[in-house]
Every structure is written in structure tokens, then in C-alpha cells.
Structure 1
Amino acid sequence: MTYCVGMLVDEGLAMIADTRTNAGVDNISSYRKLHIYQSSGERILAVATAGNLSVTQTALAMTAAGVRLPDSTTPETLQTAPTLFRAAQILGHAMASVRASINTPPTPTADGLNVNASMLLGGQIAGGKMGLYLIYGQGNFIECGPDTPYLQIGELKYGKPILDRALNTSTPLSEAVKLGLISFDSTIRSNIAVGPPLDLIVMPRDRLSGMARRIEAEDPYFRDLGRQWSEAMAAAHRAIPDPTWLDLDAAPAPRTMAAVG
């Protein structure tokens, strides 16, 4: 399993992905899950992947070679897609094709294989707006909107509450990066299937460029962020008054079980 998040705010887009891949507690390895496609001054795209590694790697290889969509006679890639929407179609078609090849012919045994996979596609192409899409293994996809300015894939439940409470479209891009890293710190603490190193890309809106960074387990900022977040959480819950209706002194004593002889 893995965890990936994309956060689309007014100032731009940030995407983070971990690298942990495991097939059991004794078979853990690292693979890059965040892939960047850039042409200077023309486009910058990032793809984060989660789920079955063979499905996502094969789909990305197909898009690099060129995918022929049903409405076209010419193979297209992420480097030639005229719009971000078209790039999402290319990735969706590749994902669906890979899954179909695994499940052909469709039998109960084939369907029982874990071929679940998903992707996040984010970025901007010259002449178009910045965007973020979640692409499902079946090939369909959804677009990130202003009401919920982030999308997640993989082991998302531990990091979601932080983003729900603190992230909105007016959040500064640097603050969004910080919130994303806090969501990763919370996820890593709660789930062994997610772990560093983390890959990050930050794309300011309308610049068609980005800053990429790999965050190792011993990264000083990431370690300090986790420590400060834990301390802040502890201070916050201590500062909240105890329930006004709680009276432990008035609570009845627990009943004891009679000895059975």
C-alpha cells in the first residue's frame, strides 16, 4: 500500500507520495510513486500512483510509448497531450487496458486478483488552467474542485482529518505543503504500509515549473515537524476543559463477580 496526496490551492499545486511497497511484513521495498513530466515553458505534469505496482508501472510505460484513444488514430503521450483533461484520458485508457489484459478472459479466478490501482494527475499545460485529477483503475476519473481542494489515493484515512480541518483554496502554498507533510506524519505513525522516503513537488500556478524534493526519514525539518505536531496536539487536548458532566467520585463501584466453586 502507499499514500499520495495532491493539494490544489489558489497559489498552485503540491503533490506528495511515499515510496513504500510491501507484500507482507517481511517483504518491504521502495519504489518511486511520483513521476514528473516537464517541458520548459510548455508544461509540467506530475503523476502519483497507488495500488498494484505492476498495473501502474505498465500503464505508465504504455503512456510513454503512446496510447491510441478511441477518438484518435494517432498515439498520444503525456508530453503531447494538448490539455490536462486529455492527459487524464490517456492515463485512464492505459489503466483500463492493463486491467483488462490481466482479467482476460474475465473469470472468477482472474477477478480475484488484486489489480486495484489509482493515480493522481496534476499540473498545467501552456494555455490551460492548473488542475488535479484522480484516475481510477477502471479508466474513469474525477477533477479536484474548490469545495474540497485536495485528492488522496492509497492509505488515506489517517491523513484526511488534518486536511479536512485546515486546508482550503486560500491556504498559502507553503502552508499546504506543511499540512500535507503533517498528514503524512500522522499516516506513517498509524500504518506500517506507508513510509519514507517521500517525494514532493511544488508547482506555483502559471509558472509551468516546479520544485521537486526527496524527503528522507532523517530529514531534519520532517522530524521536527512530527515532534512539534505531537507536542501541539498534547497541549491542545490538555487545554480543553474536562467534560462538565463527568463526576468520577460519584460513579458507582464496579460489581465483583462471585467466586465459582
Structure 2
Amino acid sequence: MTYCVGMMLDAGLVFMSDTRTNAGLDNISTFKKMTTWEHKGDRVLTLLSSGNLATTQAVVSLLDERTKSREEREPSLLAVPSMFQAARLVADTLREVIDEHREAGQQADSAFQATLILGGQIAGGPPRMFLIYPEGNFIEAGRDTPFFQVGETKYGRPILVRAYDPKMSFETAMKLLLVSFDSTVKANLSVGAPFDFHLYENDSLCIGPNGRVEGDDAYFQTIAKGWGDALKEALDSLPDFHL
């Protein structure tokens, strides 16, 4: 399975994804689920993917190939004029890949489904983020819905709902997301480290701090243990129930 989060802050956009895929408990692999395209000074786009790995890899490959195509009729993420048009292009490509499976006579269409998060900024417009469904439609993040999750969302959602603040710094957002991912990992074996991240600063129009947090990373281990201890202390501090 998967867990990915895209979050909008006043300072910019934050992305994090796990890397675990599995076809049964005895067939677990690591695959990157975050892809970023950059034309420095003009645009930066980041894509997070959840769902069938063959589908998501085909979508990323098509989008990537079309950014390098010399044929003008080939739509490209590096040429579209707005983030809305970028979302439409990604949605159309996702639907195209899924339709190819269907036309090839593949069984169980639902097995080839995928859901994507696209965020970024194109010069002349504000940073924007979209949640793209396998049917090819999408919705946009905003003040009322400032973050999107895909994959195993329920375990890590409570901490995001309770602690999210648009004014938080990138450093605080990373701490929040690592708590959310730790909660998900502890509750679901199909999600696991390492975690990839990308922090995009508004109007920078270049790739921001990014990297990978391994499961044995000292800071992540401190966060995981500290959060567990803090929960126990909070529980102990609450008044007891009287029978």
C-alpha cells in the first residue's frame, strides 16, 4: 500500500511519501513514489502516487517522456501555462493509462486504479495543489482543505487534523508529518520507511530542500519515541473514569 501527504502552508508546499509496496507479506519492495520536475525560474511540480505500481510508473514515464519530446503536439508539464492545465494533463494521462489496460482486455479494472497528488507553482500564478482521482477528475486544496492524503490515510490523519497550522514553519511541518507517518507505520504493515520529502518555498521556482528519511534515522527515532511517551503522559494526566 502507500501513504502520501501533500500540505499547503503560508510559506509553501510540503510533500512526503513512503516507499513500501507489497504483493503479500512475503513480497515487499521499495519504490520511490515522488517525482519532481523543474524548469528553474519558471516552474516546479511534484507528483505523489498511490495505487497500482504499474499504472503509476506508466503515468510518470509518459509525463517524463513528453517533457523531452520535440513534437509540439505532445503535451508537456514543462509547457502548460498554469497549474490547472498541469492537473488536467496529469489527469488525462492517468485516465489514458487505465483505459489502455481496459482496452487490452485486462480483468478487474479496480486493480489498476491509482490516485495522485500534484502540487507546485508555475511563473505568473500562485502555488496550487490537486488531488487527482483514477476517473480523471480532480479537486483543489484550499483554506478549508489545506492538505491531501492518499493511500492508508486514516491512521495518520488525526494528528494532521489536530495540529496543522498554515503558519507553521517547514521544520515544524516535517515534525508533524513524521509523527503522522510513524502512527501509520505502527498501525499498518503495508506502509514503511524510508520516507521521501520535498519542501517548496513560495515563489522560489526551484526545487527546495528534499531528501529521504530512513527508518533508523536518529531524528525519526527520537520523534517516534517522544510521541509515544507524550501520549502515555497525556493519558496519565487525564482524570480517571469513576465506576
The amino acid that maps onto 2:195 is L
Residue equivalent to 1:89: 88
> 1:176 maps to which residue?
173
Q: Which residue of 2 aligns with 1:157?
A: 154
Identity across matched positions, percent? 40
Q: Is 2:205 aligned against 1:205?
A: no
Partner Cα distance (1:218, 1:78) in 2: 36
SS at match of 2:154: coil
Separation in 1 of the partners of 2:113 and 2:162? 29
Instruction: Choose which of 92, 109, 119 in structure 2 pairs with 1:122.
Output: 119
Deviation at 1:105, TM superposition (A): 6.7
Which amino acid in 2 is paired with 1:178? Answer: K
Matched, 1:133 2:133: no
CA distance in 1, matches of 2:149, 2:16: 10
Tell me, in whole angstroms, the C-alpha distance in 1 between the residues paired with 2:158 and 2:175.
Answer: 14
1:194 to 191, 194, 207: 191
Do 1:148 and 1:168's aligned partners in 2 also have CA atoms closer than 8 Å? no
State the number of aligned residues: 238
Q: Deviations over 1:181-240 (max 9, x none)?
A: 110000011101000111000011111231111111111111110011001111111101
Q: Which of 1 and 2 has greater Rg? A: 1
1:61 and 2:58 are equivalent in the alignment: no
Q: 2:38 corresponds to which residue?
A: 38
Query: Residue by residue, what CA displacement relative to the aligned partner does 1:75-115 show, whole Å, maximum 9, x if unpaired?
Result: 21212222111111111001001111111277xx7245511
The 3 A distance-change label for structure 1 pair 36 and 112 is closer
Quick one: distance in 1 between partners of 2:48 and 2:85? 17
Normalising by structure 2, we get a TM-score of: 0.93
**Aligned amino acid, residue 7 of structure 2:** M
**Which stretches of structure 1, 4 residues or more, deviate above 6 A after TM superposition?**
none
**Structure 2, unpaired ranges of 5+:** none
- The answer to whether the 8 A contact 2:102-2:109 is kept is no
Checking the alignment, whether the CA contact within 8 Å between 2:56 and 2:114 is kept in structure 1 is: yes
Residues 124-176 of structure 1 deviation map (CA, whole Å, 9 limit, x = unaligned): 11111001111111111111111121000011110011101111322333222
Looking at structure 2, the residues matched to 191 and 125 of structure 1 have their Cα atoms a distance apart, in angstroms, of 36
Residue 234 of structure 2 aligns with an amino acid whose one-letter code is: A
User: 2-side partners of 1:112 and 1:55: how far apart?
Assistant: 11
Q: Secondary structure at the match of 1:153?
A: strand
Letter aligned with residue 81 of structure 1: V
* Aligned-partner Cα distance in 1 for 2:123–2:80: 11
Q: Distance in 2 between matches of 1:189 and 1:111?
A: 30
Shift of 1:118: 0.8
Give the match for residue 104 of structure 1: 103
Q: Which moved more, 1:82-91 or 1:111-120?
A: 111-120
* AA in 1 matched with 2:94: M
Normalising to structure 1: TM-score of the pair?
Answer: 0.87
| Distance in 2 between residues matched to 1:229 and 1:81, nearest whole Å | 43
One-letter amino acid matched to 2:60 = L
Q: Structure 1: which 5+ runs fail to align?
A: 68-72, 248-261
Between the aligned partners of 1:43 and 1:64, the Cα distance in structure 2 is: 15
CA contact (8 A) 1:104 1:110 kept: no
